[in-house]
Structure 1
Amino acid sequence: MIETEVGYLPISIPQFVGILLVGIITVAAFANENVKSVVIFCYNCFLKPFGKKNRTGDQQVDLESFYKNQASIYDQTRKVLLKGREHALQLAMTHLLASHPTGKDLVWVDIGGGTGSNLEFMKNVYKINKKNFRKIYMIDYSSSLCAQAEKKFAREIELGIVEILCSDASKFEINGLTRNFVDLCTFSYSLSMIPNYYSTIDHIVPYLNKEHGVVCSIDFGTQSGDNSVGRVDTLGGLVNRNGSWLTRHFWNIWFEFDKVHLDPARRNYLEYKFGTLKSLNLRNKVLGNIPYYIWIGCDKYKCANLIDKINAYVTESPYLLPQGLGRQNSVTSINSAVSKGHEAAIENQKRGLPYPSVYYQKDVTRVYYDELNPLFDQFNNQYIYAFTWEDPREDMNILNINSNDSLLAITSAGDNLLHYACLPNAPKKIHGVDLNPCQNHLLELKLACFKAKLDQDKLWQLFGEGKLSTHDEFKQLLINKLSPHLSSNALQYWVDKGPKTFSPKGHGLYYDTGSTRWALKLTRWLFVRARLTKEVDQLCNSKTLEEQKSIWERKIKPTIFSPIVGRLLIGNSLFLWKALGVPINQANMIEGSILNYIIDTLNPIVERSLISKDNYFYYLCLQSKYAKDNCPAYLTSDGYKKLTSSQNNPIPNFRLHTDTLNDVLKRLSSSSLTIIIIMDHMDWFDPEGTDALEEIQLLNKALSENGRVMLRSASQKPWYIKTFNENGFISDPVAVRESGTSIDRCNMYASTWVCTKKRSLRSFSTSSETISTLKI
């Protein structure tokens, strides 16, 4: 026991040393603040809580004892400790304004508002006046903190806009506050200090507006995997959510000295009583990685009437609204095809749980997926492709894509799907499928830019140049513009990865991300070592094919195809897979040597089209950015107008599936698609296995009569074409690459095929079930 002037500390010497160390860190963080304020803060937070007279059992008395001496310096000393409050409020307001009919005349209840710092921020950013806010109620149980807030907002109180109540948050009473009345409710580092938090949360539920109301909580908190069992789909994402045993217990014990409780029950109860719109799991890196979270929620039963409609839109099933389906009514499957999200929604409703988080989003672009799928582990939480290496111009020429088509394609980086959406007659539905969640996070981000009508110059900085002008700019764009149009999973990913991905440092930094970045980096390194950077720039600025060919033949080609480079890189299986994304099964399909294959890929390119004006694929590889007259369709002025137009906008027609292609095809209604583009996907299969057969049969099921599968292959005669022909298709090679010729602007593949469905299979077996295919 350690004796002090305030009593005895029931801790050991090592624990006390730890407390002092954190105190020193805090003092260092506040070094530029008034020394007296820092001393008061440290005394009240690190020493006073251990005094015997500090705990009376009366919450209000204990709070007042804790805050009375530091009320005047509260705001100064919480800037570093209470991280993220401004971002939480911005995120809440962004979601509220995205769904509120007018965005004006709002009613806001701020629970545990302290000295009114939340109100100060809102006053500076959103303006607190009668036009924007009909009424703001700030509730806190400490009279000293309320007194500070009353001084700050004396004018707003006099005008009747702000009302400050010193009351227990679980039973406050407000005249005129009725059910369905509150637009915004916030808990800012307060829920962790409320003993009867369940009563407080229950108390606010009836008041929240059921259609557009938003609840926001930012607080300290610890979670473990055990807290998520049975409700993973309701949480809005697990990234960074669970801490280690040691950190959880350390921070729980540490904060309990100040009567702040980081146990998971408070957050769990929020996630049970409301539907999760967004969930971010963060760390205060300045003060020892203290775990905190930002959570945005809404009415739990907000989307009950949409469950079947969303399922129909995801699966292409016919839709018929069940009669009398209302709030909290039982939802039943009415469609022949049922999505995984629909199954989860029905199961959750049976158990009284909120629906999967994706159902509460403003847009339902992202289809529900099981975040714990072990197949995702192979991607290490990163996308492989930052750009798409397929030529969509040839897709359009071959397939004649039009507005009568329902199209499905591998997502990759999403550039080709966006190209199809930019066509004069865009497909009526565009499904993107990718097993890598991060590839869909990437396309979600691009789609959100168009949904939010992000300024075209800003869009160009992001995906044309690959970087922004300041470090904080991406996070501000993400929270204030893009967040309502992203799933919670995608938002978590980009909050964590985005600032570095689009950092102002580096040359086209975004295009130096993804697993294939190594190919670009190695190529640039090779040109630097060979002192060819000047010639590469000349190649990318050539004005004629003759000039382009001359530079290639004289300078660049001899270096790339030298014996050393061939042996160390092009002929290296590790390089092929890690840098270029070429798996072993595909490499085995290449006729002849890999070096000759690469020569036949690159040599004809310089004779086909100008890299400077008509080949943005190779221009990007050499320059790490696009040119405004040489870029994917979605970055052009015409593409931007198309994708942000108010009429016939194709963006709402996107659906992103995070699963295997087979799992998606199984759940789509029979004969619901007209075009499926699978890139070189089937080259990855083992010729001795059954994967190709199963997938081809499922492709047959999903396609309408005369529906087409388009694929590319590293082989001129892929082994699986025979399997297509044996299962209801007629297959035609629409382009075959001969030595010295090119078949498109990428020329990465030896052949392009179109397989047309001519008959439906009566029934067929997969490894998991027997599937019957019916014509609609």
Structure 2
Amino acid sequence: MVTRVIKPSTMSSAIGDHFISLANPEPWVSQTTVVITGLLLMLTTCLVWFNQTVRSLTLFCWACFFKPFAKNDHGNSHQSALESFYRSQASIYDSSRGVLLKGREKALQLAASHLKKSSKLVWIDVGGGTGYNVEIMNSLLPITSKFEKVIVVDLSISLCEVAKQRFEKLGFNNVEVLVADACDFLVPEKYMGNVDLITFSYSLSMIPPFHAAVDHILPMLNKEIGIICSVDFGVQTSATSIGRTNTLGGSVNRHVPWVFRTFWRAWFELDRVFLDPARRDYLEYKFGTIKSLNCSNRLLGNIPYYIWIGCDKDRSSLLLHRLNAMATESPYLAPASSVPVKSKGYERALENNKKHLPYPSIYYQREVWRVYYEESNPQYAQFNDQYIYAFTWEDPREDIKILNLKPSDVVLAITSAGDNLLSYASIEKPPRRIHGVDLNPAQNHLCELKLASLRCLKYEEVWKLFGLGKVENFEELLFSKLAPQLSSNSFQYWAKHGPQIFDIKGKGLYDTGFTRWALRLAKYVFKIAGVSDTIEELLTCKSMEEQKFLWESKIKPAIFNPIVSKMLVGNPIFLWKALGVPPNQAKMMNSSILTYVVDTLDPIVGRSLISKDNYFYYLTLRGRYSPTNCPDYLTKQTFKKMHEKESPLDNIRLHTDTLNDVFERLASGSLTVAIIMDHMDWFDPKKNEAQSEVEHLKKCLCNGGRVLLRSISKEPWYIKVFEENGFHCQAAAVRVKRMTIDRTNMYASAWVCTKIPARRVSDLTI
């Protein structure tokens, strides 16, 4: 057996050369030799990797888990303590910290998405250590072309040496490494007040005088466009939020249970790493919170950490932007008005200012869609952090037709899934203001996600999110593109729930929320009835005749047979789970459940093709939309309209409150249209709910202002309440046998109630 002689060389080059030679062996080399040599080389490579990994892991475990209990001779010098800790592990620091220091990449991605994109950015990385952050940022924003100057500050000499070698290898001539204390390092005078980004990446927890470090960098930050980013360990509790919840940008996962916060805080202090809440609290006191995210490292026993983005708390441009937007929350905000200010956001801003706290986090957001709300409101707990409607059942085409909306209109509607608000904004000449109101914060989170997506994503990405209901890279889109357009509260919600909801391998958006039962129960009914294949045919029908034939001959007899009807379609559980009908509303039916369902579905097939012009039932049957059968906001034409210079997206405001609370804070006569869906069907006739709401509506509507409502009853009992309060009420549509009132036909009637000036009751015409 003849073999080649391997000449002396480095292990890596030898392995590389011989893998190439094995791929192209000489004719005289036997197959057995090739296989044996290949196996030996692979074994050698594995041994080298294993040896390096074991060495790194051993050093890491010694330094982090055993050395803290050994005798320390570094005295009282903080730099000596750092060197004692890092000297032996500087060379393996990056390879050993990936599992422990979670969130660094996400924090930099979030920071990069919030930066003003220019080619002269200045960045100071405090406690930057080995320069790992700079290399990661380079993959997001090229260091040499986007940054004028990058300064890495660290007190550890060993880590700084690694950083210098890294930057030299990468050719970053605009990056400077300073071996200095975070509390007193110096930068050139020209950068004072002009720094665009300051980061603390797992460093603030290792700075004993952290107040001094934070105060030291404050004058360096650009007050108008600069941001500060911190990712670090930290144990927060709900108790530390008392009195300043509106400044925190949301409290999702903020409270760390006693066991974890006690154990990890004590453990890390052995290494002079301090997880006390004071560090983050001080950041949230000195700066305005733009984004806040609370996480835990599950792989290592739920070690709590956070990602936080802030800015100068007196940033004038953002504050003026928000104050100007408040005029759309409540016309009471006219500067010279003697009427007391009614905006919640303005009231909270004044309170915070008196306490020297930052303004509410909502003030520092880029977009003004979301109107300020108190996240701690106990009324929100009933929704259990979930939206009910993933899509909207009401037909906006009929709304627009009945109301004849105009550019001068100010419209208020229930948000639901936001589809209708976006449809009103999609018409050729949209209303000048559209208020969406929903007490469920998650419904407004969903609408806000749609607004943000239309603002900053490509059409193909928007279609995947809301047309198909799933996308390959939701988390990437959230951190790199969507985050700057979302409020911090909404960002927290989607960071927690979005990856599961939009998972490309999952069932998608439309199998979430309460409305998922409509889709699931429909599929179950069809499966039990044995018409699943026929339903697929129905969704591809090209003519009304074909659609009617399938319905009458196959589908209708199967789902309305006595057994299926009694067990499923006519079951009260189906009524609530699939159709969302609560008990008070169910009592208003003028027929049995089964009869109502038959009268709802039977005429649909004769109105329009489900395959082309009824996206409500198409979605219910297929679980997604099609490009030619979808809500207006998902069409390419509307997408282009949303990106015009004067985008109709700017006209939308989202209120997270009860209708009455919003009505109370709007000026008298400020609304021209209120669209309240079937919401009043849910009221108890024995209580005063309807009277109270009608009175509030009357105050807010201008003379001639209209209320559009739908009901499961042909003659809803509360129409009399409107008439008794000076409204002229007229049925815009009433369902009769084998006829529909719109494309969903879910309601028995639709009504328009018009506010009449007292002196002109006799001459009003509709």
* 1:296-307 → structure 2 map (5 Å cutoff): 296-302=309-315, 303-306=318-321
**Residues 699-738 of structure 1: pairs in structure 2 closer than 5 A:** 699-738=697-736
**Residue in 2 aligned with 1:546?**
545
Distance 2:628 2:170 in 1: 53
Matched residue type, 1:176: E
Structure 1: how far apart are the matches of 2:570 and 2:535?
A: 23
* Kept in 1: contact 2:575–2:593 (CA 8 A): no
1:59 alignment partner, one of 78, 88, 94: 78
Q: 1:192 aligned to 205, 211, 219, which one? A: 205
- Aligned-residue offset at 1:318: 5.8
SS, match of residue 44 in structure 1: helix
Judged with a 3 Å threshold, the aligned counterparts in structure 2 of structure 1 residues 653 and 316 are, in CA distance, closer, same or farther, namely: farther
- SS of equivalent to 2:729: strand
- Find the counterpart in structure 2 of residue 252 from structure 1: 265
- 2:299 pairs, out of 286, 289, 293, with 286
- Tell me the amino acid that sits aligned with residue 110 of structure 2: L
Q: Return closer, same or farther for 1:158/1:521 CA change in 2, 3 Å cut-off.
A: closer
Could you report, residue by residue, the CA deviation over 1:596-616 in whole angstroms, capped at 9, with x for unpaired residues? 111100000011111011111
Q: Provide, for residues 483-536 of structure 1, a one-character-per-residue CA deviation record: whole Å limited to 9, x for no partner.
A: 1100001101111111111111145x1110111201211211222233322100
Gap regions ≥5 residues in structure 1 = 1-29, 323-332, 762-776
- Map of 1:215 onto structure 2: 228
Once the two structures are superposed, the pairs formed by residues 259-270 of structure 1 within 5 Å of their partners are 259-270=272-283
> Which one of the candidate residues 20, 23, 35 is aligned to 2:54?
35
Mapped contact 2:127–2:155 kept (Cα < 8 A): yes
Distance 1:760 1:496, change over 3 A: farther
Alignment of 1:145 with 2:159, yes or no, is yes
| Contact 1:191 1:197 (8 Å CA) reproduced | yes
C-alpha separation in 1, matches of 2:254 and 2:539: 46
Q: CA deviation at 1:345?
A: 0.7
SS of equivalent to 2:392: coil
Secondary structure at the counterpart of residue 676 of structure 1: strand
2 CA distance for matches of 1:740 and 1:306?
Answer: 52
Instruction: Give the corresponding residue for 1:464.
Output: 467
Over residues 360-414 of structure 1, what are the superposed CA-to-partner deviations in whole Å (9 max), with x where a residue is unaligned?
0001110111111111111111111111001111011100011111111000011
User: What is the aligned-residue RMSD (CA, Å)?
Assistant: 1.8
Residues 451-474 of structure 1, C-alpha deviations (whole Å, 9 max, x = no match) = 11x111111111111111x3xx10
**SS of match in other structure, 1:185:** strand
Deviations 1:102-159 (A, max 9, x none): 5220111100101000011112331111x41111111111110011001111278883
| Equivalent-residue separation in structure 2 for 1:299 and 1:760 (angstroms) | 52
Partner residue, 1:640? 639
Distance 1:688 1:613 in 2: 44
Matched residue type, 2:652: F
Correspondence 1:398-409 to 2 at 5 A = 398-409=402-413
1:75 aligned residue (84, 91, 94): 94
1:432 pairs with 2:436: yes
Give the Cα–Cα distance (whole angstroms) in 2 for the partners of residues 393 and 65 of structure 1. 71
Contact between 2:521 and 2:574, CA under 8 Å: does it hold in 1?
no
Moved more, 226-235 or 731-740: 731-740
| Alignment partner of 1:234 out of 230, 238, 247 | 247
Cross-structure match for 2:599: 600
Structure-2 separation of matches of 1:642 and 1:157: 44
Q: Report the residue type matching 2:140 in the other structure.
A: V
Aligned to 2:689: 691
**Identical-pair percentage:** 56
Q: Counterpart in 1 of 2:478? A: 478
Corresponding residue for residue 621 of structure 1: 620
Q: Which one of the candidate residues 337, 344, 363 is aligned to 1:359?
A: 363
Q: Give the CA deviation at 1:290.
A: 1.4
Q: Which residue is equivalent to 2:458?
A: 455
Change (3 A) 1:33 1:627: farther
**Alignment match, 2:28:** none
Letter in 1 for 2:647: N
- Secondary structure in 1 matching 2:661: helix
Which protein is bigger by CA-based radius of gyration? 2
Q: So what's the TM-score if we normalise by structure 2?
A: 0.90
State the alpha-carbon separation in 2 of the partners of residues 754 and 589 from structure 1. 19
Tell me the CA shift for residue 230 of structure 1. Answer: 0.1
Q: Secondary structure at the match of 2:619?
A: helix
Are positions 1:315 and 2:330 aligned together?
Answer: yes
User: What is the CA-CA distance between 1:289 and the residue it aligns to?
Assistant: 1.8
1:361–1:487 Cα contact (<8 Å) kept = yes
Counterpart amino acid of 1:527?
F
Tell me what 1:12 maps to: none
User: What is the SS of the residue equivalent to 2:709?
Assistant: strand
1:158-208 CA-partner distances (Å, limit 9, x unpaired): 83x111111110111123255421110000011111101111001111111
Partners of 2:548 and 2:605 within 8 A in 1: yes
Aligned residue for 2:16?
none
Report the CA distance shift for 1:32/1:620 in structure 2 as closer, same or farther (over 3 A): farther
Aligned residue among 648, 653, 670 for 1:655: 653
Kept after mapping to 2: 8 A contact 1:337/1:668? no
Deviations, residues 292-347 of structure 1 (Å, cap 9, x unaligned): 11000001011444554232122244644x8xxxxxxxxxx976552111111110
Aligned residues of 1:412 and 1:434 also touching (Cα < 8 A)? yes
Structure 2 residue aligned with 1:558:
557
The aligned counterpart of 1:530 is: 529
Q: Which residue, 117, 130, 145 being the options, matches 2:132? A: 117
Residue 285 of structure 1: how far off its partner (Å): 2.0
Q: Do the aligned residues in 2 keep the contact of 1:177 with 1:207 (CA within 8 Å)?
A: no
Conserved 8 A contact 2:131-2:163:
yes
Instruction: Please state whether the residue corresponding to 1:165 is helix, strand or coil.
Output: strand
Task: Tell me which residue corresponds to 1:325.
Answer: none
- Which amino acid counterpart does residue 128 of structure 1 have in structure 2? I
In structure 2, what is the equivalent of residue 757 of structure 1?
755
Alpha-carbon distance between aligned partners in 1 of 2:422 and 2:218, rounded to the nearest angstrom: 41
- How far apart, CA to CA, are the structure 1 residues paired with 2:695 and 2:757? 11
Q: Secondary structure in 2 aligned to 1:135?
A: strand
Instruction: Give the alignment partner of residue 354 of structure 2, picking from 350, 354, 358.
Output: 350
TM-score (norm 1): 0.89
SS in structure 1 opposite 2:672?
A: strand
Matched residue SS, 2:747: coil
Q: How does 1:509-524 map to 2 (within 5 A)?
A: 509-524=508-523
Q: Which amino acid aligns with 2:651?
A: N
The question of whether the paired residues in 1 share the 8 Å contact of 2:119 and 2:147 is answered with yes
1:272 is matched with which residue?
Answer: 285
Query: 2: CA distance between counterparts of 1:614 and 1:568?
Result: 31
SS at the partner of 2:122?
A: strand
Aligned equivalents of 1:242 and 1:506: distance in 2?
A: 29
Pairing 1:376–2:391 present? no
C-alpha separation in 2, matches of 1:31 and 1:535: 58
The number of aligned residues is: 709
- Provide the secondary structure at the position in 1 that maps to 2:653: strand
Shift in alpha-carbon separation, 1:500–1:192, aligned structure 2, 3 A? same
1:467 counterpart SS class: coil
Q: Report what 2:492 is aligned to.
A: 492
Structure 2 CA distance, aligned partners of 1:697 and 1:228?
A: 37
Counterpart in the other structure of 1:165: 178
TM superposition shift of 1:83: 1.0
Counterpart residue number, 1:502: 502
